[in-house]
Amino acid sequence: MQRIRLRYTKRGRLRFTSHRDFQRAFERALRRAEVPMAYSAGFTPHPKVSYANAAPTGTGSEAEYLEIALTERRDPEVLRRLLDESLPDGLDVVDAVEAHTSGFADRLTASHWELRLDGVEPEEARKAVEVFLAADSVEVRRQTKKGMRTFDTRAAVASLEVAPTGSDRPGDGPCAILRLVVRHLTPAVRPDDVLSGLRATADLAPPVPAAVTRLAQGPLDEETGTVTDPLAPDRDATPAATVPDGTA
């Protein structure tokens, strides 16, 4: 059995795809592309797909991950192209690596996010970020499935900055772009929790909901505060003995 790890995106209007929606779409894409999937045993066999840490509905992402198990060997790049063509535009498969390591999900320890705040002056955002970063802890409360929970958003943030605003954005008016690295903790601190934290500490109140995009997720380099490629160990571990195929 061959295992392949894929990175895929949720772009543009398809960021409104929920994780369940994506799962259905992906399993149909597997059938259309005639991928030789391994199936679970039992009355209603399911193709073996494991998803890691999916972004919430409405959040764009450049870095979602999943792993599939095949009964016949396939070239990861050929498979990537096939699946990418089979999925709608916006759900794009952008990377594929054969799995040679275990514990992939544990490697996803942080995410790099971009938050576009329309109607917010970059200078105003910069001041708020300074106040936020200077605090020892910034607690926010949010209703979860398990009831009202309190989160320390400051502890979860490994880095936070206001990015230079590009000129290519739609519409007029001010716009601030935040880039931040958030640790994956339990319970999870979400980018909008950090926004709540910015509101609580520095009165930053965007007039419209932020457009949120996950730029990357993977191991956190604590020294630089950056997120690195979680597929790197698999890429590095490619055994020389592997016979490239896809035509078997």
Draw the binding track, 102-141, toward another protein (x: CB under 8 A; -: no contact): ----------------------------------------
Query: Alpha-carbon distance 7 to 132, whole Å?
Result: 32
Q: C-beta of 16: minimal distance to another protein in Å?
A: 4
Give the nearer residue to another protein in terms of CB position, either 17 or 109.
17
Beta partners for residue 179, in sequence order? 114, 161
User: Whose Cβ is closer to another protein: residue 170's or residue 239's?
Assistant: 170
The binder of another protein chosen from 48, 49, 57, 232 (CB under 8 A)? 57
Q: Which is nearer to another protein, 208 or 237 (CB)?
A: 208
233 scored as a contact of another protein (CB under 8 A) = no
Least distance CB 224 / another protein (angstroms):
32
Q: Which of 2, 9, 14, 143 binds another protein (CB under 8 A)?
A: 14
What does the per-residue mask of binding to another protein show for 70-89, with x meaning CB under 8 A? --x-------------x-xx
Instruction: Give the number of residues in contact with another protein, rule: CB under 8 A.
Output: 33
Q: What is the DSSP string of the chain?
A: -EEEEEEEEE-GGGGG--HHHHHHHHHHHHHHTT--B-B--SSS--B-EEEESPPPTT-EEEEEEEEEEESS---HHHHHHHHHHHSPTTS-EEEEEE--SS-HHHH--EEEEEEEEET--HHHHHHHHHHHHHSS--EEEEEETTEEEEEEHHHHEEEEEEEPPPS--SSSS-EEEEEEEEE--SSPPPHHHHHHHHHHHH----SSPPEEEEEEEE-EETTTTEE--TTHHHHHT--TTPPP-S--
x-or-dash pattern for another protein, window 171-210, by CB under 8 A? x------------------------------------xx-
**Can you give the binding site for another protein, defined by CB under 8 A?**
13-14, 16-18, 20-22, 24-25, 27-32, 34, 39, 43-45, 57-58, 72, 86, 88-90, 170-171, 208-209, 248
